[in-house]
Structure 1
């Protein structure tokens, strides 16, 4: 029986720990999986204490994490070090970037214990200032292999010194296709709570952070130009909330803005939408790395419209609509066509649901991870 330790700050959230849970199921009778999850993190939108999940297949080990409000400076405490250096592992996997202290810490603890593999979602080749460039270089030296979170991540990292010398795999994040699925009754309950009728105009939904990078300004401008009837539901939170509420006030009952919801509530809100819009905007320092809302929208049976920023075109494939990120007129046209064509919305929703199940469901993603780990251990591990 091989023993895997997987550790990451995202595992505090129960739905994120589905990766560890499903790896335990995918490796049943061959792998014993232990998941190290922080007891508490500040989170992007709310403080989060370690969440439970039903019938968890992996062994859960709570650990302490410091400075969780600043991800680039987070560090694990002594209990995490004791766990990593216990010497009981055949492979250690970190869901942490290699250039941050948390990722570097784990690589350093793991280097004399077991092969070490890290995940990265950086899809822009950046020159980090000290000490982050030192941390990244040492993490690479301590690592056996790495996992790219998408096509654009793989392309960017393969151009960087050290990455091409290590084995790697391209494996995205996943989605719980049982939690996220079409469920009209739940959507109707959300509509009722919003004082909206199920028979009203189609609802264009936005899910995520209310920030410039996520395209909130562009979406507001595109909605301003629509001539056909619409409603808009914004779910999330962020620095543009006040501006968003001021903009929405001119439309009265047509706009709803919801903040402070937990991730387990997200499926219900997605079921209240008719279209999911993801107008992410590329900046010199950022472009969309995955767009989890895309695969959650797919799983929920929604037609998904995304910009051509970063990984979005690869995620959507031919099952969603890709729109030029800087063109509010193109967004207006695409959204208008979807609003007016219910059969087309249904067709895209069905294709998206199928793509979520076959490409992004957690069992599929977990098996890819376990297969990669088996491949590494069954092959001669190169020295670095």
Structure 2
């Protein structure tokens, strides 16, 4: 019997346990065929304070040191990762961008006998100044393949020779459909904790950072114009929090703002919503890379509306509404129409859950990764 193929998957985001769900899903999907090990920083400076690696029962995760983690472009891995990469691996899967220092380190340290695959979110046609442009060329010359986290990423990078010459796959980041699932009771408990009667007006929800590019100002302006009764739940935090709270003050008990929600508690808050909105705005330096809140809401059976920024239309497909970004009147119209039609909301909720299970569920995404790795290995036989 041949030995299982050995996969090392690594990235600085793996310090957070929820981000290692992909690694655990690949281990489960490849049981008996793949031996999956994750490498993650032992500690990392998070937005709300330092994060310490907390391995979960049954997972194979190796702590490594990082230096200069406050600036991702120049963050460096310590010698523990170099030594780990010297072991015998069939595939090394790197969740670091190819143009940053840590990506170049992985390219330099990965033995030639292992297939090296990078995963990238870059959906803008950027040209990086030296030394980052040099590192990108070096890294992609070493890479055996790459994974585009979205169709727009594949279109943008596929037009560049250093990427086009390498095999690639479009694979969406996954959502845990066992954690994010329809749970009306949990939603009712959240509403009650917020002081809301469950049979009052529908709840329009927002989940994410309170920053201009996420379009939170568009949503507030759209709600100002809605004729139908509504309540609003904003979950997240960020620089615009004071502005959101000032706006909320005009509506009293109709608006609730909740910050500091742990990721494991997010599904309950999503289930408290009757509609989730992602009104992202494109800027010169940013397109929406995914809209993770959309896949999470769809998995919870909550209807979604998103702007036409970046990857959002590809994520939603026919399972929700795509509304022009920055068009407050259009957002008001569409929100009003959904608030007035429980039947239409129910139809979109059903479509969203089905799409989440078919396209974004972790077991589906994990299998797509392993299939891609298998294809790369077959090319050398």
TM-score range, shorter chain: over 0.9
**Count of aligned positions:** 378
> In 1, are the aligned partners of 2:25 and 2:363 still within 8 Å (CA)?
yes
Q: Distance in 2 between matches of 1:47 and 1:207?
A: 23
CA distance in 2, matches of 1:216, 1:37: 33
Q: What corresponds to 1:70 in structure 2?
A: 71
- Match of 1:6? 9
Q: What is the CA deviation profile of residues 209-236 of structure 1, one whole-angstrom value per residue up to 9, with x for unaligned ones?
A: 1001100111111111112211111111
* Whole-angstrom CA distance in 2 between matches of 1:208 and 1:51: 24
Report the secondary structure of 1:229's partner residue. coil
* 3-state secondary structure, aligned to 1:354: helix
Partner Cα separation in structure 2 for residue 131 and residue 88 of structure 1: 30
- SS across alignment from 1:353: helix
Structure 1 residue 39: Cα displacement? 2.1
* Secondary structure at 2:208 match in 1: strand
Residue in structure 1 matched with residue 342 of structure 2 by the alignment: 342
Cα deviation for residue 362 of structure 1 reads: 0.3
Partner secondary structure for residue 290 of structure 1: coil
Residue of structure 2 aligned with 1:25, choices 20, 28, 34: 28
Where does structure 2 lack aligned partners over 5 or more consecutive residues?
A: none
Answer with 65-74 or 203-212: which moved more: 65-74
- Contact 1:223 1:332 survives alignment (8 Å): yes
Could you tell me how far apart the structure 2 residues matched to 1:104 and 1:50 are?
23
Q: SS of 1:20's equivalent?
A: helix
CA contact (8 A) 1:111 1:143 kept: no
Structure 1 residue aligned with 2:290: 290
2:46 pairs with 1:43: yes
Measure the CA separation in 1 of the matches of 2:292 and 2:312: 10
Contact 1:36-1:62 at 8 Å conserved across structures: yes
Aligned to 1:79: 80
Q: Which residue of 2 aligns with 1:159?
A: 159
TM (normalized to structure 1)? Answer: 0.95
Residue in 2 that maps onto 1:233 = 233
Residue range with higher mean Cα deviation, 44-53 or 13-22: 44-53
Residue segments in structure 1 that go unaligned for 5+ positions in a row? none
Between the aligned partners of 1:46 and 1:256, the Cα distance in structure 2 is 25
Within 5 Å, which residues of 2 pair with 1:183-332? 183-332=183-332
Task: Give the 3 Å change call, closer, same or farther, for CA 299–147 of structure 1 in structure 2.
Answer: same
What per-residue deviation string (whole Å, max 9, x for no partner) do you get for residues 137-171 of structure 1? Answer: 11111211111111100000011231111111111
2:161 is paired with a residue whose SS is: coil
SS of alignment partner, residue 306 of structure 2: strand
Deviation at 1:194, TM superposition (A): 1.2
| 1:113 positional shift | 4.9
Q: Secondary structure at the match of 1:96?
A: coil
Provide the C-alpha distance between the structure 1 equivalents of 2:277 and 2:49, rounded to a whole number of angstroms. Answer: 23
Deviations 1:82-139 (A, max 9, x none): 1112x32111110111111121211111143512100011111101122211111111
1:50 Cα deviation from its structure 2 partner: 2.0
Q: What SS does the aligned partner of 2:19 have?
A: coil
User: Aligned in 2, Cα 1:81/1:157: closer, same or farther, shift over 3 Å?
Assistant: same
Q: 2: distance between equivalents of 1:107 and 1:336?
A: 51
CA gap of 1:67–1:259, structure 2 versus 1, over 3 A, is farther
**The residue matched to 1:322 in structure 2 has which SS?**
strand
In structure 1, how many angstroms separate the alpha carbons of the residues matched to 2:301 and 2:48? 25
Give the SS at the match of 2:276: strand
